[in-house]
Structure 1
Amino acid sequence: MAKKEAKSKLFEERFLQSFNNKRELSLSILDSLSVGIFIVDIKGELLFSNEKARYIFDLSMDQIVGKSLRKFLLILQAPKYTSKFEAALREVFNHKTSRILEFQFYDSEDTLRWIKASFFPIKISNSNYISLNFQDISEGKYFELQLHESEEKFRIISEQLFIAIIIFQDFQIKFHNKKLIDLTGYSADEINSWKPGEFIKLIHPDDRKGAMSKIRNRYIGKINTLINYQFRLVSKNGEIKWVEVFSKAIPYKNGEADLTTIIDLSDKKKIEQDLLFTQFSLDHSAEATFWAVSNADLIYVNEAACHSLGYSREELLNMKVYDIDPNMSEDVWADHWNDLKNRGTFTLETHHLCKNGNLFPVEITVNYLEYGFSEYNCVIARNISERKGAEERLKKSEQKYREAYRFV
């Protein structure tokens, strides 16, 4: 024990000599530093500790000075780091270089602490020592762990989604989920190897100007809100797909990035095209078509219906079924609707009333339909004026022949 105290005192004398024996000043300087400091000799014995080091480890000077590094790590209950510390000491002493390592220990409140230890060779009064500097990096480590956990949760969730997710930063894809691979046909390795701006090959040439304008404006801060646009995506095999993009600026890895979601609109666009074709076919059908609901409101009429009655579409859509069918009235509509629901579909003859007051016979096929939670009556009307005229002429002809035959 006396030998260790002597060594510590010898070091202090040499140290003070280097500061011209200004003890209070030299110790005050060391204690004011924001890093913890141990001075260690070539055998790994701790000769000095400043106030910050004692605070970090919650130890007294007596628990540190005179102890070996091995004993110090035992006190911290972190002996597994002994070999790393001793190896770092040898390397710094032998090669006059610096070393950094990180270690963990549990403090007196059983809280896990991360410490960065930096080894530097120093010379005091022609003797070689090591300045072992400590920084408590627990806060940063906890943040890194939380960030890692958050990123892992984000990755797991994004892989379950049916939309492509991308994080753009500096015109480069920094993150993407599997759906982007499925959507584009490019492998993860191919996407990850793209240079900044190379993702532009995913955008159809005719759509690049508009899409890139949105992306550039985001980067230069002209757009700070959620942006939404569509473009044609060109996959690896040349297939063209309509996609919809939603993009929002987010903080990402000490900077700002774009969190972008891409929705494949291929099926939606096909449905839209099919619906437009169906609508076009219905609008231009030669048969007059009317759609009504349970209160007798007309909710759709095609061009043939408008032409047959002499009304505009806007006029008809503000009318009731019994406004154009004089054989129907508000009083009997409810019974008619119930009959229609029970029978589903049937054909009958009635009359339609034109805007100019003309009345003409029609044969109508009525159909009861349910879609979602709504009920509809689809009516297809056929003008049978010619047929009725022919029937009347035939009836008169038959009557004439019967009368002539009666006098024979």
Structure 2
Amino acid sequence: MSIMRRGQNKTTSPSSQSLLSNAFELREEDLFALFSEQLPDSMYLLDLDDQDVPGKIIYTNDAACRIHGYPREEMIGRSINELDKEDEARKSDSRLDKLRSGEVLTFEEERRRKDGTPFPVEVTARTVEWKGRRVAFAIDRDISDRKQTEDALQSSEFQFDNLITASERQAQERALLDRVRTILADE
């Protein structure tokens, strides 16, 4: 096997040829499983057509199980709404409707771990065809660290604004005091 690059002919090594041959022999399902299990983020396939269980999880990766604290067997068949924090679950039906209409969604919400602990996620979801079914492909990224950093930054900005305000007030008071001293000194 040869690779042409900028006029040069480079022959791949036998080991590279073997890897390429093996990669082409992998079925789509194997590639899907290989890639999805390497993701550090939660990944789901949700059945959009199941009337009994809206947003039914039909596939999830190991990261989702680890982050949420559920074994895979308990996640499969569950509605994605059950992972949402209670006040977020109301929005889920509307989001599922948007996915059914073909919208690509990106949003932040609160999820719940099995033990009830809430945590923030950023969700990206879209509708895809998978095994002849219309499903939502969704990736959730745990943004707890980012939210903590944003909160710390906001607190720091608030403190900085307070210091600036106090400094400006002190400068005005000092100027007023200097004027009073000048007036008193002139008398």
- What is aligned with 1:278? 156
2:66 is the counterpart of 1:179: no
- What is aligned with 1:355? none
Query: How big is the alpha-carbon RMSD for the aligned residues of Structure 1 and Structure 2?
Result: 2.8
Rounded Cα–Cα distance in structure 2 between residues aligned with 1:215 and 1:248: 10
Return the offset for 1:255.
Answer: 2.0
Rounded Cα–Cα distance in structure 1 between residues aligned with 2:39 and 2:77: 24
Rounded Cα–Cα distance in structure 1 between residues aligned with 2:27 and 2:112: 34
Point out the structure with the larger helix share.
Answer: 2
**What letter matches 2:80 in structure 1?**
F
Return the offset for 1:149.
Answer: 1.3
Aligned mate of 2:131, from 250, 253, 260:
253
Return the offset for 1:303.
Answer: 2.5
Identify unmatched segments of 5+ residues in structure 2: 1-23, 182-187
The answer on whether the counterparts of 1:211 and 1:231 sit within 8 Å (CA) in structure 2 is: no
**What letter matches 2:118 in structure 1?**
I
Aligned mate of 2:74, from 190, 197, 200:
190
Matches within 5 A, 1:24-103: none
> TM (normalized to structure 1)?
0.34
Aligned mate of 1:150, from 24, 28, 43:
28
- What is aligned with 1:214? 95
Please list the CA deviations of residues 34-73 of structure 1 after superposition, one character each: whole Å capped at 9, or x if unmatched: xxxxxxxxxxxxxxxxxxxxxxxxxxxxxxxxxxxxxxxx
Please list the CA deviations of residues 332-384 of structure 1 after superposition, one character each: whole Å capped at 9, or x if unmatched: xxxxxxxxxxxxxxxxxxxxxxxxxxx96xxxxxxxxxxxxxxxxxxxxxxxx
**What letter matches 2:38 in structure 1?**
Q
Give the secondary-structure state (helix, strand or coil) at the position aligned to 1:258: strand
Aligned mate of 2:83, from 202, 227, 248:
202
| Higher RCO (Cα < 8 Å, 6 or more apart) | 2
Rounded Cα–Cα distance in structure 1 between residues aligned with 2:56 and 2:106: 19
Alignment CA distance shift 1:250-1:284 (3 Å)? same
**What letter matches 1:209 in structure 2?**
R
Alignment CA distance shift 1:154-1:305 (3 Å)? farther
Give the secondary-structure state (helix, strand or coil) at the position aligned to 1:257: strand
Rounded Cα–Cα distance in structure 2 between residues aligned with 1:213 and 1:178: 27
**What letter matches 2:157 in structure 1?**
Q
The percentage of counterpart residues that share the same residue type is 20
Rounded Cα–Cα distance in structure 1 between residues aligned with 2:82 and 2:76: 14
Please list the CA deviations of residues 87-120 of structure 1 after superposition, one character each: whole Å capped at 9, or x if unmatched: xxxxxxxxxxxxxxxxxxxxxxxxxxxxxxxxxx
- What is aligned with 1:165? 43
The answer on whether the counterparts of 2:58 and 2:77 sit within 8 Å (CA) in structure 1 is: no
Give the secondary-structure state (helix, strand or coil) at the position aligned to 1:275: helix
Rounded Cα–Cα distance in structure 2 between residues aligned with 1:226 and 1:203: 19
Give the secondary-structure state (helix, strand or coil) at the position aligned to 2:119: strand
Matches within 5 A, 1:258-273: 258-273=136-151
The answer on whether the counterparts of 1:241 and 1:266 sit within 8 Å (CA) in structure 2 is: yes
Rounded Cα–Cα distance in structure 2 between residues aligned with 1:272 and 1:235: 22
Alignment CA distance shift 1:241-1:184 (3 Å)? same
Alignment CA distance shift 1:308-1:201 (3 Å)? same
Larger Cα-atom Rg:
1
Give the secondary-structure state (helix, strand or coil) at the position aligned to 1:256: strand
The answer on whether the counterparts of 2:45 and 2:59 sit within 8 Å (CA) in structure 1 is: yes
Identify unmatched segments of 5+ residues in structure 1: 1-145, 286-301, 311-358, 361-384, 390-408
Rounded Cα–Cα distance in structure 2 between residues aligned with 1:255 and 1:266: 33
Give the secondary-structure state (helix, strand or coil) at the position aligned to 2:116: coil
> TM (normalized to structure 2)?
0.70
Alignment CA distance shift 1:206-1:267 (3 Å)? same
Please list the CA deviations of residues 158-194 of structure 1 after superposition, one character each: whole Å capped at 9, or x if unmatched: 2112111111113211111111011111111111253
